[in-house]
Every structure is written in structure tokens, then in C-alpha cells.
Chains A and B, each alone.
Chain A
Amino acid sequence: MNDLLLIVSLAGRRVAFPAGDVEAVVELEGVERVPCVSEHVAGLAALRSRVLTVIDAAVSLGFSGPQSAARLEAVVVPSGGHTYAILVDAVEDVVDAAAPSQPLQAPLGAGWDSFAKGLVEANGDLVLLIDPHGLITGPAALAA
């Protein structure tokens, strides 16, 4: 039994999150900025009666600039007792991993290396498997 993957498009690339880490996929109504926090934290958003911390994954990955997309699609990931919403370009699908993930052979460039857990095959394509928890911790993880 292989794991389920959530395929999303992020910073222009197709990547996969382990579906087990994902609670839901939502469209946010708005993001309230939080002053004086790390840049990868885009702010706060409300989901029914919960407050989510919104993560700009592109910033975590080292790509600068806040999300300017008109739609705010996000992947809701609980982590460390809090609930986060990771902004993505688009959500594509949930697929079965055809095989367990393969280790990476070569450096990927930019910030991908810190967060990529491996390569997986999904629908015939090779997709990067990303650790959402790493994205949540953000660029700080690199400094460690």
C-alpha cells in the first residue's frame, strides 16, 4: 500500500506533499498581515472559527516576493499543535504514489534542497516530495 500524495503547483513547479500531513485544502478569504515576523509568515487567516497561520512557501524556498495571486489557495497542515495554511499556486490532485520515494541524487538549487525529501512518481511524472513541516519552519531551518 503506497502513500497518498497531494500534488500542488508551488513556485512554478509541481510538487507533492504527503497526504497524511495535510488536513484540508482551502481557499482563503484574506490574509491579515502580522507585523514584525519572519518574511515567510504571510499572516493570519480565519477558517470558520479557527485562526490559521499562513505560510508563504515561496519565501521559505528562497524565492522573494509575497504572493500576488488573486486567489489564495492553501494547504492546511497541522504542525506542532498549531494549524498552518501553506499558500500554493494551485492544487491539482491526490494520487497514489506509484512507488516509494527515491532519494535525490543531485542538488536542486535554490531552497529546494532543504525541504525536498525525495522524488516520487505520480501519474507518470517525477515530482519532488516536499516536507510541509519544513516549509512551516521556514528559512530559519537553514540557519540551524
Chain B
Amino acid sequence: MDDLINDFIAETRDMLQALAGAIVAWETEPDDRARLDEIFRFVHTVKGNCGFFDLPRLELLSHAAEDALAEVRTGKRAPDARLVSAVLAVIDRIGELVQALETGEALASADDEQLIAALTTGSGPAAVAAVEPTAVPANDNRRGMRSIRLSVDLLDRIMNGVSDAVLARNELARSLRDYSTDISVDAAFDRVSACIAEIRDAITRTRMQRIDSLFAALPRMVRDLAGELGKQVRLEVDGGDVEMDREMIEMIRDPLTHIVRNAVDHGIEPPSDREGAGKPASGLLKVSARQSGNQILIEICDDGRGIDADKLARKAVAAGLITQAQAESLSAPQRTALMFEAGLSTAGQVTAISGRGVGMDVVRANIERIGGLVDVDSRLGHGLRLTIRVPLTLTIIPALTVGAGGQIFAIPRAAIEEILRASGASVRIETVGEAQVCSIRGRRVPLVSLAKLLGDNAASQVAEQTLVLLKPAGGDLYALAVDLVHDHEELVVKPAAPAIMAAGLYAGTTLADDGRPILLLDPSGLASRAGLRFDAADVERRLGGASGGAAVKPPTDYLLVRGLDKGALAVRLTVVERIEDVPASAVRRSGGRFRVALGENLVPLLGCEQPPSTDRMRLLRLTDGATELAYAFADTADIISFSGDIRPAATPGEIAGVALIEGEQVEILDPYWLFAAMSEHASAPERPLVCALPPGDSWMDTFLRPIVESLGYRVAPADGSEQPDVVIASDSSADTPDGARVLRLRATPEESQDGSIYRYDRLALLAALSRASAGGTAR
């Protein structure tokens, strides 16, 4: 008989919760006949059960509810907020009585009559102010599933047994390694391994439950809360069919409740305020769950007033949590993250519901204890989004095992951004004061030595260590130096004893492959212990590191081509006017560069060093709006949208920089440089000017000739065979051919009176040559 009662209690409890949800949903759509019928059936079943078990009080209550609903069904009564509240109150009372049944308490029966009276005459507790109906939960399917009720202890026993089996299997594997075994032994072992893995998988699945069990209670809670506070809140729930470890669901229950209550209490403004701010009178609260890789993401989003990060910072200073200087150096996301500190509450008053200022720190602690993370994203005046990430099961957390100070520890993989060698090329370690800071690809992050933090002062030099880049929830990026990185493992993690948790550094305990117990580290705890949290380092790092994922460059469209040298090239799509295919004969080299005849125009051609070897050439026609140029290429690859990093070229030139696009190094063309270079030769002379250089002067030939040619001159020897336009002479020669401009170059930098130019004075040289060429066209 005991078993039956237990079953009844459990079943009724489940039903009542589902009932509450259904009633609230029905309230928004009173004409939904199907839903009303469903509710009626529920109540009827509860009544029936109560009668079977001879529980007169319960029977009376459920009977009254059933009657009231029956009247609605037959149209004799109209459903209104008062009726719904009364029915809900009766449901609650039934729940309390069922609970009392279990614990053996006795409850006063006088109240029962009051509740029943409220149902019939409608003269019970005053109706609450018009409550905006809550929306139907998006995920409402009730799949018919065959199921049985099972004791959690039994499941735990099985789970422990499976964990033991995994350990035993690992031990066996180690032993087998030491002895050479024959194939049949190996095969058998493999089969055993496979079986154990299979069982472990299946058992893990038994522990899974739909997150709906968390979400089901929300509509009711939100409705009641909103009613109490005189607010209007529309609740949208999504992703109830996502599955999570049952135990983890229980651990999330309180934090989730707290967050939702906060949203309704503090987040969403009263309707008048909302209308004043141009928002709809009814606030929107969205709770959703989704699976992302091996994590579950639960988001609670409201369109209320958001968090006033500055006010929070002021409170933190007033509460003595941080100094004024620290507060000023915090970025906005970091100030918002202050909400997770104990003792802070931005609520003006402490309400009965929330605002005692003890909530969010506990919420975060609870979530982090199970290896999860919580993030906050606030827009003042517009709303708040809290994201809870939890690993897929409580018991099995993906972690990285590391060694420090001779011990092995585990770090939850969820918090790890990257792993680097301290001696790697992209890492630089500097000592600032007593602390060490490292720069990773130019970005500075604080450095913490795990061994030192844990009290081992004989820690090895950082340079020999490995850096694990960690980003704890709501915190900044920092690097943890460890002696070695062991492995990536899926670890069975259990909560650690309070004495161990008191250190503030650990998130739990687990067993390593060899059976030794190891500690799971808590990345935010480590950061706190290292004093990192409000470290007054440079603002740049803060802005760069803080809001993980902010400041993403908007992607730019590039045209990806393969140059004539087969290298990958990219040019911004906006610069490309079109792609053209020209006969090789259209390409000529003149005035020191290639030009291509496009229609009536002669357009400078870049990107090719030799005359085309094929009979056609493909080119990009680039334009800056005024002038055109052409760039030769071999084939097009693609049009891509890219927003990643471009490593700039060392000197200005045709190539602006290099980027890694889909694993290939791509050179990015610099259109500015290209057009700038072209503008020097905007008006290419019809006939290239001739510049005579003294023959036999190797310096002139090697150093000067390229510059002269780049300016469009044709170089000829100064032997009288051609009439030059410009003659360049070293100061030692005396020849001054007629009709030509002479540029004298001297070998020494000191000023001289003879009007010569120091031969390495590039600017003066170029200026003189350009002047000469400009003047020369007067011919």
C-alpha cells in the first residue's frame, strides 16, 4: 500500500505542475476548448485518485475545482482572472496536502473552505490588477512515451558501477600493455571495452531529462509575480525538449528561478514607465534552451531596463568592493559583470522577492560549481540577456589535465580559449613590477603561474612552461602557466567537500585515469586568488579582452584571384570595375611599364613582369572613380567575405598585407598604393624621354637607372648616339651636351654650391627628374 501511496504522490505532483501550466496557458485563450477539456480531465483524474485513496480533503478540493471548470465548459460561467486565480489556489492547496501526506504533517483545514468558497461565489481574494496573459509556451508537445518510475538511488548505483567498470577496464588496459598478449586476448579486450563504452553511453542517457521540467513552472511563476508587482510580462519559452542531466537540471533550477524573478522584479519596468519610454506596456521575457556542441545554452532575455553599469560600479565602490580608481578603469562589460559580486544589488529597495543582494553571486557560484559559466549582456534602457552555459552532463565534464608543482589538476575545457607554448613565437613575457605580463600576438594578458599560486615557490621558469589561456565567466582573459599539459579527458566530476571549496580555487574532484584523485580548478577562483580581477593594467588590454567577441570587424568582400606568379591575391571588390580578357597584342611595354590598350585608352597594367606568353591575357579593371588601371591575373578563384586579421606588409607597396584565408596565405593588394603610384605618371608622355647616363658608371647603371626608368624615362648611354632630354652626370665629368638638361650628382652629402644633387637624395633626385620630364614635353 505504501508503494501505491508513493506513486500517487509522485504522479499527482507531476500532474499538478502540468495542470498549473495548462491553466495559465488557457487563461490567455479562454476559447481554446481543447485546452479547457484537458484541464478538466486532469482535475477529474486527481479527484478520482483522491477518492480511491480515501483522502476526503483532497477529494473535496478537487471536486470543487472540477465543478467550477464544468460550469465554464457548459458556458454557465465565464472564465475570468478571478476564477483562474481561485482554481490555481485550489491546485496549490492540493499540492500542499499531497506534500503533507508524504512528510506526515498536518495542515489546517479551515482554509480549505475559504478556497472552495472563492471558487463558487467568486468573492475570495480580490482579483489582482489586470494581468497581461502570458504567451503559450512555444514547445508544448506531450509525446506519448512508455515510461516507468525509478528510484534515483538505483540509477546512481548503476552509474557508480559503470564508472568502476571504466576504471577497471583502464587498469586492465595498462596491465595488458605491459605483457605481450595474443590477438584473441586483444580482441576480447576490445569487445569488453566497446561493451562498457556502450553501457556508459546508455546510462548517461537515463540520466537525461527534458529541460521542460524546469520551464514548466515558469509561466505560473511569472504570472503570479507579475500580478503581485503590478507589471505586465509576456513569457516566451523555447527549447523545452532539450535534454540535460537530471541532477544538473535540479542544480540549475534555483539559479534559473532567481534570474527570472529578477527579470520580472527589477528588469521589466511598470507599464506606465515602459509606455513613457516608448516600449510596449507589456514586457517580454524569453527563456530558451539550445544545445551547442557539448554544451547547453540557456538564455534569459528581457526587454526591460537593463543594468546600469555605472550605478553598479558606484555601488561597488560604496560597498568597498573596489576602489574608485579601479571602477573607473573598468570597461562597460566588466562593470556589468559586477552584478555577480556578493553584496551588490541595484534594487532600490529590498523586496520580498529579490533584491537582498545575495542572489547573483550564489547563482554564479552554483553554475560554476557544476562546470558551467554564466554571461551577462546588458543594454541600458533596452534589456538584459543572461546566458547560462552548462556542460552536457554533470558527471562527465570535458577537461584538460595539466601538471604544476608536481601535481596534476584539471581545468574545465569550457573556460579554455587557447593553449600555447611560453617559448613560442607569438608569445612575449615581460615583468612589470612584481607581476609578469605576457603578450600573445601583440595582445597583453596577465600571467599567473599555477604552481606559485598554489604555494610552490620553487616553480620553474615561465619560459619553459605552457600557457593555458583562460576566460572565466564574466571575467577577463588571462594566461595560466603550467609545467605540462597532460591530456584532454572526459572526467567524472563530483562536488568537493566544503573544506576544499573554501579555498576558492576548486570546482570539484575527479579521478584520473590511473585512479588518483585530482582537483578540478575554478578559473575565476584562480583569477581572484591571483588578484587579477580588477587589476589596473592598461585600458587597451581591457577593451580588447573584456567583452569576449565584441568589436568584430564587419566583413569585407574581396575578389580572390591567382596572379600570374600563381600566388593568391585578393583585391577589394569595390575597386574592381570588371574583368576583361584581352589579346596579348594589346599589351605593350612602353615608358618603362606595361600598358594595355582598352578600347581607345591606354591603361597602365600591373601584375605582370614579362610580356604575356599566352595569346590572351585576363585582367582586372580597377578604378578609383577617376582613373583606371589594369591588373593581370591568371584565374579567378572566388568572391569572399573576410573580416579576419591582415598582417601588414613591412613597407608600402603593391601589397598591403597578407591574410590567412581558408588556410592559404593570400596577398591583399593595396589599391591606394597602386593608384598613388599611377598618379605620378598620369600623363605618360607619347614618346618617352631619354635620359643619358654616363656609360661605364656602374653605380649609375645599378642604382640610378631603375629610378630613372620608373619615372618613364628611357635610358640611353651618353655617347652621342641619341639626343637625350636629360643628362645625368657625376660631378666629376665635365660634359654638358647641348639642348639637354643636366643633372649633376655628387657623391657626398655635404652641400655644394654647384647646384648638384647628392646622389642618394632621392627626393631631390626625383623632383629634378620630374621637373625635367615636365619641362621636357614642351618640345
- Report yes or no: A32 in contact with B517, Cβ–Cβ below 8 A: yes
List the B residue with the shortest CB-CB distance to A33: B407
Residue in contact with B518 in the complex, picked from A32, A35, A50, CB distance below 8 Å = A32
A44 B509 Cβ-Cβ under 8 A:
yes
Instruction: Please provide the 3 A-B residue pairs with the shortest distance between their CB atoms, ordered closest to farther.
Output: A35-B454, A44-B517, A53-B497
Please give, as numbers and ranges, the residues of chain A lying within 8 Å of B497 by CB-CB distance.
41, 53, 80, 82, 84
**Chain A contact patch, size range:** 20 to 34
Does B519 count as interface, using CB distance less than 8 angstroms? yes
A51:B510 contact, CB within 8 angstroms: yes
A144 contacts B by Cβ under 8 Å: no
Q: List 9 A-B contacts (CB under 8 A).
A: A34-B506, A35-B456, A36-B455, A37-B502, A44-B518, A48-B164, A49-B160, A50-B160, A82-B497
Main secondary structure of the interface of B (DSSP, over half): mixed
- Chain A nearest CB: distance from B685 CB in Å? 80
Task: Give bound CA distance, A6 to B498, whole Å.
Answer: 26
Which chain B residues lie closer than 8 Å to A136 at the CB level?
499
Q: Which residues of B contact A45 (CB under 8 A)?
A: 517
B369, chain A: closest CB distance, angstroms: 13
Q: Taking the complex as formed, is A24 at the interface, i.e. its CB lies under 8 A from any CB of chain B?
A: no
Q: Taking the complex as formed, is B496 at the interface, i.e. its CB lies under 8 A from any CB of chain A?
A: yes
Given the complex, which residues of B lie within 8 Å of A35, measured CB to CB? 405, 407, 454-456, 503, 505
CB contact list, B392-448 vs A, under 8 A? 405, 407
- Cα distance, A50 to B498, chains bound together (Å): 16
> Is B494's beta carbon under 8 Å from chain A?
yes
Find the B residue at minimum CB distance from A38: B499
Note all chain B residues with C-beta closer than 8 A to A49. 160, 163-164, 167, 492, 511
Q: How far, in whole Å, are A55 and B402 apart by their CA atoms in the complex?
A: 25
**Contact mask B517-539 → A, CB, 8 Å, 1/0?**
11100000000010000000000
Minimal Cβ-Cβ distance residue in A for B167 = A49
Is the pair B499, A138 in contact by a Cβ cutoff of 8 Å?
yes
By a CB distance below 8 angstroms, the chain B residues around A100 are: none
Of chain A, the residue at the smallest CB distance from B519 is A34
Given A44-B519, A45-B517, A49-B167, verify A36-B505 contact (CB < 8 Å). Answer: yes
Nearest-Cβ distance from residue A76 to partner chain B, whole angstroms: 13
Interface flag for B48 (CB, 8 Å):
no
A123 → chain B, closest Cβ, in Å? 33
Give the chain B neighbours of A80 by CB distance below 8 A: 497-498
Contacts of B510 in A (CB 8 A): 51
Pairwise interchain contact A46-B500, C-beta atoms closer than 8 A: no
Chain B contacts with A in 552-566, Cβ cutoff 8 A: none
Report B669 CB to chain A, min CB distance, Å: 55
The answer to whether B149 has its CB under 8 Å from any CB of chain A is no
Contact with B along A97-124 (1 / 0, CB 8 A): 0000000000000000000000000000
**Separation in Å of the A100 CB from the closest CB of chain B?**
29
The answer to whether B516 and A37 touch across the interface, beta carbons within 8 angstroms, is no
Q: Does B515 contact A (CB under 8 A)?
A: yes
Quick one: which of B440-472 are within 8 Å of A by CB?
454-456
Query: A30 on the interface (CB 8 Å rule)?
Result: yes
Q: Closest residue to B408 on the A side, CB-wise?
A: A32
Separation in Å of the B221 CB from the closest CB of chain A? 27
A53/B407 in contact, CB under 8 A: no
A44 to B520, CA, bound (A): 12
CA gap between A84 and B496 in the complex, in Å: 11
**CB nearest neighbor in B for A138:** B499
A37 to B529, CA, bound (A): 13
A35, B505: Cα distance in complex, Å: 9
Query: In the assembly, what is the distance between CA of A49 and CA of B493, in Å?
Result: 11
Query: With A35-B454, A51-B494, A53-B497 known to touch, is A46 a contact of B503 (CB < 8 Å)?
Result: no
Residue of B nearest to A30 (CB): B516
CA distance A100 to B454 in the complex (A): 46
Say which residue of A36, A40, A46, A82 sits within 8 Å of B498 (CB atoms).
Answer: A82
Contacts of B503 in A (CB 8 A): 34-37
A9 to B494 alpha-carbon distance, docked (Å): 31
User: Knowing that A36-B454, A40-B499, A53-B500 are A-B contacts, what are 11 other residue pairs whose CB atoms are under 8 Å apart, sorted by A's residue number?
Assistant: A30-B516, A35-B503, A36-B455, A37-B499, A37-B503, A46-B515, A46-B516, A49-B160, A53-B497, A82-B497, A84-B497
Cβ of B207 to closest chain A Cβ, rounded Å: 16
Of the candidates B499, B509, B515, which one forms a contact with A41 in the assembled complex, judged by CB atoms under 8 Å apart? B499
State A63–B455 Cα separation when bound (angstroms). Answer: 23
Complex Cα distance, B510 from A33, in Å, reads 14
By a CB distance below 8 angstroms, the chain A residues around B498 are: 80, 82
Which chain B residues lie closer than 8 Å to A52 at the CB level?
Answer: 517
- For B499, the chain A residues whose CB sits under 8 A away are 37-38, 40-41, 53, 136-138
In the bound complex, CA of A84 to CA of B499 (Å): 11
Docked CA distance A138–B497 (Å): 13
A35 vs B500: C-alpha distance in the bound complex, in angstroms? 9
> Nearest chain-B residue to A36 (Cβ)?
B503
- The answer on a CB contact under 8 Å between A46 and B511 is yes
Distance between B698 CB and nearest chain A CB, rounded to angstroms: 72
- Cα distance A52–B515 in the bound complex, in angstroms: 12
Q: Which residues of the partner chain A approach B500 to less than 8 Å between Cβ atoms?
A: 34, 37, 41, 44, 53
A90 to B405, CA, bound (A): 32
Chain B residues with Cβ under 8 A from A32's Cβ?
Answer: 407, 516-518
Knowing A49-B164, A49-B167, A51-B511 touch, does A38 contact B517 (C-beta < 8 A)? no
